[in-house]
Structure 1
């Protein structure tokens, strides 16, 4: 505030200076005064001009509309991939041990039929020889089992018949013993005692009669004595037979008849059990023999199949190339060779390969296309058929003509879609091979005579979705509705509403 006061006082003092009388001693002093007066006049004129300039409004910033080239591009990362590939897979039928002896190097160019991998065959040859020997033994066992079953089918009915006959005989023997033989045996025992007792009595009576007769004669001759002596011996013998008969009877009644009855009952029960067992076991044994024979036949078939599988696996111990091309280790997954290192390690001499794996892939390097990944947010910009320029990462000076040939309908991962870029026919790939990386520049839109204006010059209508700009007509702003198209950076394409030569106001004019 103080500085401003001092400035005003100085200005006033300067304005009062011409009014102050000055002593003019000579002519030169007068000339000096005239000069100062002229200078002061010029200063006043300059200040007046500046004041007039400040009062005039500044001209609005404008842009004269003229067509210019407009191009939109999308840049993607890609990888070269061969369209014609032939996978060489190890798919054995039975053998599990695949030891590498020798394998072709990765990147080697091969012809169809060339040996790619050779495996150690010593163990599989031994296994085949052992199985062939086992086949001969199983063939003999099968023949023996077949013959045994054929005989069993005939003998089982005979064995059943024999068991039934034995059972019937045992039952009949027991029944006959109980009904007849037992009583007959008891009667015979008693009768034998009675018979011997009667004979003993007869002998005694005869001796008594002879003695009586010889006694009445009062004379005993020598012959008579002999007869009497003989009769006495016979009596003694008869008495002994009576005793033996009694003992035999007692033994028969007490031991032999009960034992025989028990033996016959046991035999009958045994025969019954034997028949039941025969009825249960003999048909079952026949079924078991038949099942065993079927099992041998199945085992025989399996053994033959196993042998054939081993023989086919043996033939696969030398892998030949199914096609001509470049050798890559492992399999290709969307242009990437993720298994290359692991498979390469397994393909070294004495390395082990696992069954059911892709060992190598034979690729045709002349059938390449470019595989890429399209972000979901880029889908609206891309259409199949748009032109592209492919630049290999290894050779940035190369530019290969191409076009977007395919974009997957469904994502291959969250927010990512598979894309395929087809290279122009007769493309000279030079040193580019499948698996190399590249960049892809796709021209998604191109207009050689586009009307482009800054985004700031376009305004939104207060109501609706319309847009408008201001153009200068006869030094006055005029509102004009426009249609917009594509945009890039801070420029927007005007498709309708502006023409070449129109003067566009870059800012909204003041009201």
Structure 2
């Protein structure tokens, strides 16, 4: 136990001096390491920019990474359904053109006949009104007088025949003898009286019917005709001009539908050209999109098979010309992007071939961040002949943004920030320590350069 008590101070002293670091001038540099991808500068996106058709079913497709020649089909789609649709649309257009011609003829006919029909309706209404007015004001009274006069004539005729018969009877009775001739004359007169009596009865009936039935009925008929023709005129004045306007609207609608159908046919015929996508030149065919330094495929790649139905208006694949220059694309964090400048040089390592360093030079660096808070950078490279580089291969770029042959530096954990600024704990000659204010220079992930406040040979306590 006594021996342990003697060891405790020694252990404490050893622990205190384990974090001491003597400052010395030595090289200081800041390096950055980040992933990159080799991609071509020149590409052609392959997509279905269809205006009307959306059902594209693949029959044939070149394998991913396959070499192709100019005008070689890359993707061939089944055109059966669109060919039927185009044929149906053309047939529909032919029918619409006939309908428009017929509607135009009907419109011309209406424009000519409607005014004539309105004139007839107006004339019929005026005539019916005039006939009723004439009947009420003149003709009815005239017919009543005529009926009365006819009845009176029959009464007078009967009276005349009766008087003649009476006189004949008186004359023959005075002779006390009636001869055969006289008897014939009397019988003839009696027949005339009987006929006149019958005619009077008939005329009386006709007179009564004329006054009680025929004239009221004629009045009703003329009134109804006046009302009917007035109604027909009113209806015609509304319906007939409207029929012209409706026919114009119908014709306009037919023309609009025809124009839309023609536009649809034009779009379908344009879309028909997409059913065989050909290579624009000699090159390589890649599935997916290569854009803005990224090669993406996603779920879409599952449709790039025979019988697959890829979506429209999305990049399906990419054509890479044989002469396309490969560059390295990287996406840097803000710390790296703020310190790197154009023409900074470094090396790239092809994953799996760390024994072949590839010289690279920073050519461009975005000044604004992407939505994911990264900054797009491009690097030119001196690509080796072997191993041969192809688009899409992964790289690891190493690049130095700052270097100094002689600098004082400390681990980052040696610094503290307080009211006086950055300080470090310095060991004095008497063994005690004090906080010393320092000026920091550039920093790496592990250490920071000191530009003022300390000298070589001083001892710093590092936690």
Q: TM-score, normalised by structure 2?
A: 0.84
Partner Cα separation in structure 2 for residue 280 and residue 463 of structure 1: 95
Alignment of 1:38-117 (within 5 A): 68-117=26-75
Which of the two has higher C-alpha Rg?
A: 1
2:365 corresponding residue in structure 1 = 406
Mapped to 2, the partners of 1:434 and 1:65 lie a distance apart of 47
Give, in whole Å, the separation in 2 of the partners of 1:104 and 1:466.
Answer: 63
Residue pair 1:75, 1:442 contacting (<8 A) in 2 also = yes
**How much has 1:491 moved relative to structure 2?**
5.7
Change (3 A) 1:384 1:469: farther
Q: What is the match of residue 390 of structure 2?
A: 433
3-state secondary structure, aligned to 2:63: coil
Q: CA RMSD in A?
A: 3.4
Query: Could you say if the C-alpha distance between residues 194 and 302 of structure 1 is closer, same or farther in structure 2, counting changes exceeding 3 Å?
Result: same
Query: SS of the counterpart of 2:84?
Result: helix
Structure 1 equivalent of residue 442 of structure 2 = 486
Gap change, CA 1:64 and 1:227, over 3 Å in 2: closer
Q: 1:210 to 1:374 in 2, by over 3 A?
A: same
Partner of 1:102, secondary structure, is: strand
Distance 1:348 1:309, change over 3 A: same
1:321 is aligned to 279
Partner of 2:308: 351
Looking at structure 2, the residues matched to 78 and 357 of structure 1 have their Cα atoms a distance apart, in angstroms, of 25
**Which residue of structure 2 aligns with residue 451 of structure 1?**
407
Deviations along 1:360-396, one digit per CA (max 9) or x if unpaired, are 1112474222232323454444444433322122322
Q: 1:395 to 1:224 in 2, by over 3 A?
A: same
Give the equivalent residue in structure 2 for 1:476.
none
Matched-pair contact (CA < 8 Å) for 1:407–1:417: no
Q: Which residue of 1 aligns with 2:150?
A: 192
CA distance in structure 1 between the partners assigned to 2:224 and 2:418 by the alignment: 122
Helix, strand or coil: the match of 1:399? strand
Q: Does 1:262 align with 2:215?
A: no
What is the match of residue 223 of structure 1? Answer: 181
Higher mean C-alpha deviation, range 279-288 or range 115-124:
115-124
Q: Distance in 1 between matches of 2:141 and 2:444?
A: 133
1:266-316: per-residue Cα shift (whole Å, max 9, x none)? 000000100001100000000011111111112222222222222222222
Local SS of the residue matching 1:230: helix
CA apart distance, 1:130: 2.2
Q: Distance in 1 between matches of 2:235 and 2:319?
A: 71
Rate the CA distance shift 1:395–1:465 in 2: closer, same or farther, 3 A.
same
Q: Which 10-residue stretch deviates more, 196-205 or 302-311?
A: 302-311
The answer for the alignment partner of 2:246 in structure 1 is 288
C-alpha distance in structure 1 between counterparts of 2:342 and 2:62, whole Å: 40
Give, in angstroms, the shift of residue 229 of structure 1.
0.6
| Shift in Å, 1:111 | 3.3
The whole-number CA distance in structure 2 between the counterparts of 1:287 and 1:174 is 35
| Counterpart Cα distance in 1 of 2:415 and 2:244 | 102
Structure with more relative contact order (C-alpha pairs < 8 Å, separation 6 or more):
2
Please give the alpha-carbon distance, in whole angstroms, between the structure 1 residues aligned to 2:418 and 2:57.
Answer: 79
Alignment partner of 1:417 is 2:374: yes
Deviation per CA, 1:82-103, whole angstroms, max 9, x where unpaired?
Answer: 2212101102122222111111
Tell me, in whole angstroms, the C-alpha distance in 1 between the residues paired with 2:289 and 2:415. 56
Uncovered stretches (5+) of structure 1, i.e. residues with no partner: 4-60, 473-479
Task: Please list, as runs of the form range in 1=range in 2, the aligned pairs for 1:161-200 lying within 5 A after superposition.
Answer: 161-200=119-158
What is the CA-CA distance between 1:430 and the residue it aligns to?
4.0
Query: Hey, what does 1:247 align to over in structure 2?
Result: 205
| 1:373 paired to 2:328 | no
Q: How big is the shift at 1:439?
A: 1.3
Per-residue CA distance 1:94-133 (angstroms, 9 max, x = gap): 2222111111111012233221111112222222222222
Residues in 1 aligned to 2:185 and 2:244: alpha-carbon distance in whole angstroms: 78
Normalized against structure 1, the TM-score is what? 0.77
Deviates more, 1:396-405 or 1:380-389: 380-389
Unaligned runs of 5+ in 2: 4-19, 429-435
* 1:211 equivalent in alignment to 2:177: no
Give, in whole Å, the separation in 2 of the partners of 1:152 and 1:303. 28
Tell me the equivalent position of 1:386. 344
- 1:332 is displaced (CA, Å) by 2.8
